[in-house]
């Protein structure tokens, strides 16, 4: 199963849209399982496409593993776009 998602900016934020939001993708997978839109029995894979409309297409993978309890794992590939060092007092 695959879905297209967007994470738009909060009010008065300098960031217009997030290209890949892992912190929202896991809850989306749990929501789809809870409302029986993603199968609870067996293993299920969900691919979330995000960032396409802003020119930074990403694919996040949500996997629901078989078992008595709900286990959602989120993953995907990354590309480094910034690196830095912070010095704390």
pLDDT digits (tens, 9 = 90+) for 52-88: 888 888 888 888 776 656 777 788 777 777 889 999 9
Cα–Cα distance for residue pair 68/89, rounded to 1 Å: 47
User: What superfamily in CATH does domain 2-75 come from?
Assistant: Diaminopimelate Epimerase; Chain A, domain 1 (3.10.310.10)
- In this structure, what token pair is assigned to residue 67? 């078992």
Token pair 């217009």 is found at 16
pTM: 0.69
| 56 φ/ψ angles, rounded to the nearest 5 degrees | -130, 60
Does the structure show a pLDDT above 80 at 49? yes
Domain ranges of the chain: 2-75
CB 43 within 8 A of CB 65: yes
């Amino acid at each position: 199963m695959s879905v297209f998602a967007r994470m738009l900016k909060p009010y008065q934020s300098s960031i217009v849209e997030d290209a890949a939001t892992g912190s929202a993708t896991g809850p989306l997978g749990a929501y789809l399982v809870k409302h029986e839109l993603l199968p609870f029995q067996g293993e299920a894979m969900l691919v979330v496409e995000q960032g396409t409309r802003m020119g930074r297409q990403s694919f996040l993978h949500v996997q629901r593993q078989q078992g008595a309890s709900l286990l959602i794992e989120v993953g995907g590939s990354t590309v480094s776009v910034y690196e830095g060092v912070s010095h704390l007092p």
